[in-house]
Structure 1
């Protein structure tokens, strides 16, 4: 068994929602709004997936194995990359999958970009562990449909 990473997998909204539910991210994403999830995927600039495969040598690009991780980012590929979603199936956490998804996302976006993310409170101790630095000044306007 092995983990295979892909930057060209055509992730469907259903697959993404299923993974979000198997990670801890579903509670902070609109998983009950499939059209919105579909738009989130359609407008991502960088999408990296991790799949659990039985045979790392033979992989069908249409079904590369069980989806166990995803990184979704928006980037200008020149200055900044916003890592919007980092989700790893809870059964596979602690194996370095998140770290590799972050690394590949930054590589695809360009190492000259500043990789930025907003951490869930429960994950705040994870990001320093993978080499990210905290920033004490983040400001946002929440969406009007969020209570």
Structure 2
């Protein structure tokens, strides 16, 4: 199967929900709130998609970056039926290519996904902190 990874603008909440909803990331996102999903897509300044030959979204990387120092990867998802084909690694490589060598990519991995990120070359640290949101839906 041929997969094309590219930076994209105009991703719709419906496509995002269809993709992320078929991944392990789905239960951690407010997929029932289309307006909120579209708002966080629209306010992300780096969206990279992985599409199959038919144009179906099979994976995505959604990040926020200053383009010179750091990029926070808020979402990295590959639909379960397309996992194991190197799509996640290709999305991360495409993000690194677009961002350039001076920009670090950071993320918080879902429990159990740490091995994947180590496998594709990310460095793990135990110094991550966050303040939980109060608005959950």
**TM-score (ref. length: structure 2):** 0.94
Structure 1: 4+ residue segments shifted above 4 A: none
In the other structure, the counterpart of 1:70 is: 60
How far, CA to CA, are the matches of 1:24 and 1:123 in structure 2? 9
How far, CA to CA, are the matches of 2:75 and 2:8 in structure 1? 17
In the other structure, the counterpart of 1:14 is: 14
How far, CA to CA, are the matches of 1:93 and 1:25 in structure 2? 13
Instruction: Provide the secondary structure at the position in 1 that maps to 2:72.
Output: strand
How far, CA to CA, are the matches of 1:7 and 1:40 in structure 2? 16
How far, CA to CA, are the matches of 1:125 and 1:8 in structure 2? 28
Structure 1 stretches lacking a partner, 5+ long: 55-64
The reply to whether residue 114 of structure 1 matches residue 104 of structure 2 is yes
Q: Is the 8 A contact 1:80 1:116 kept in 2?
A: yes
How far, CA to CA, are the matches of 2:136 and 2:36 in structure 1? 13
In the other structure, the counterpart of 1:41 is: 41
**TM-score (ref. length: structure 1):** 0.88
In the other structure, the counterpart of 1:104 is: 94
Displacement of 1:82 in angstroms is 0.3
How many aligned residue pairs are there? 137
Displacement of 1:105 in angstroms is 1.2
Displacement of 1:123 in angstroms is 0.6
How far, CA to CA, are the matches of 2:27 and 2:43 in structure 1? 21
Matches within 5 A, 1:18-33: 18-33=18-33
In the other structure, the counterpart of 1:61 is: none
Deviations, residues 75-125 of structure 1 (Å, cap 9, x unaligned)? 001111001100101011011100010111122223211110000002111
